[in-house]
Amino acid sequence: MMIDTTVDLGRGLVMKNPVMTASGTFGYGEEASAYFDLSQLGAVVAKGISLLPMEGNPPPRVVETPGGMLNSIGLQNVGVERFVSDKLPFLLESGAVVIANILGGSIGEYVQVAERLAGAGGVFALEVNISCPNVKEGGVQFGMLPELAAELVYAIRKATDLHLMVKLSPNSGDIPKMARTVRDAGADSISLINTITGMEIDIRSRRPVLGRVIGGLSGPAIRPIALRMVHEAAGAVDIPVVGIGGIGDTENALKFLIAGAGAVQIGTATFTDPLAPVRVIKGIRSFMEEQGLSSLEQVIGSLILDDCEK
């Protein structure tokens, strides 16, 4: 039996399978390429890119927690010009489908980054980060207010024909409303969730563990929350949803697909198992063979709710 794991998220973003990396956990792909061929992935979502280089937050910036980790990296990155000149060529040579995660402190900055990447060629899509909780200013303000999110997405949509994937914040409150808002403004897909804000304290020093006090919680601890929000978003909009949050194995990737996600991103899990994305790709195929399924469409959104109270 032929098995088709192809995913078409619209506006030219077609992937051989539904597994992507999550921005911020995979760098620009150089390190991971020592472990596997990046072209095996559905897509590589590069580390967030701003107009100018960013140094990030003061250390400590990462701390382990039960069931996950807190990070306060602060969107450290090389800036769009160095990404285009130094990082993008490697990704293109690898044969990967490249998605650039973009960020900014203003609508104008987002638009400039989007235009530069669109003009560089080779990028299949832009993931618009409106949800990072680890910076003093910038994208998160757009993720909390629907009217600002709409204005931002509309401006980027006017500036480029690239596929726009908008990354939503779990802290925005009404996920279905925000999903509909960015869809109406021109988003081709949405991805969720970004990290959930949290903190940790050293009881002996009585000081916060993170240099910036607050960080973003990721990993298995947030997975049920992410799954619920993906389910809500998928039911609210008619554009593809990409699931993120605590996905590190085949079973949990399948849960997100069944809940309505058209694709998934794997992030924190790659810190302990760099091969996790490849294992999940193989695992999805094995599941489909076992279930006698020929198309991924038979999995996506197949959640049965007949006897459930809503």
153: nearest Cα among 132, 123, 179: 179
Which run of H or of E encompasses 123? strand 123-129
Phi-psi region of 96 (alpha: psi -120 to 50; beta: other; left: phi over 0): beta
Q: How high is the pLDDT of residue 133? A: 56
CA distance 54 to 73: 10
CA distance 53 to 48: 11
Q: How high is the pLDDT of residue 142? A: 82
CA distance 78 to 86: 9
Q: How high is the pLDDT of residue 172? A: 81
Token representation of residue 191: 């991805």
pLDDT band (50, 70, 90) for residue 157: very high
Q: How high is the pLDDT of residue 139? A: 55
CATH 3.40.50.970 fits 7-53+76-197+217-298, yes or no: no
% of the chain residues with pLDDT over 70 = 96
pLDDT band (50, 70, 90) for residue 140: low
Contact 263, 218 (CB under 8 A): no
Q: What is the mean pLDDT of residues 272-287?
A: 98
Is the confidence at residue 134, as pLDDT, over 90?
Answer: no
CA distance 172 to 143: 6
pLDDT tens-digit readout, 53-98 = 999 898 999 999 999 999 999 889 999 999 999 999 999 999 999 9
pLDDT tens-digit readout, 94-126 = 999 999 999 998 999 999 999 999 999 999 999
pLDDT tens-digit readout, 196-247 = 999 999 999 999 999 999 999 999 999 999 999 999 999 999 999 999 999 9
pTM recorded for the entire structure: 0.95
Which one of the listed residues 32, 132, 175, 244 is annotated catalytic? 132
Which run of H or of E encompasses 63? strand 62-65
Domain boundary assignment for the chain: 7-53+76-197+217-298
Judge whether 132 counts as a catalytic residue: yes
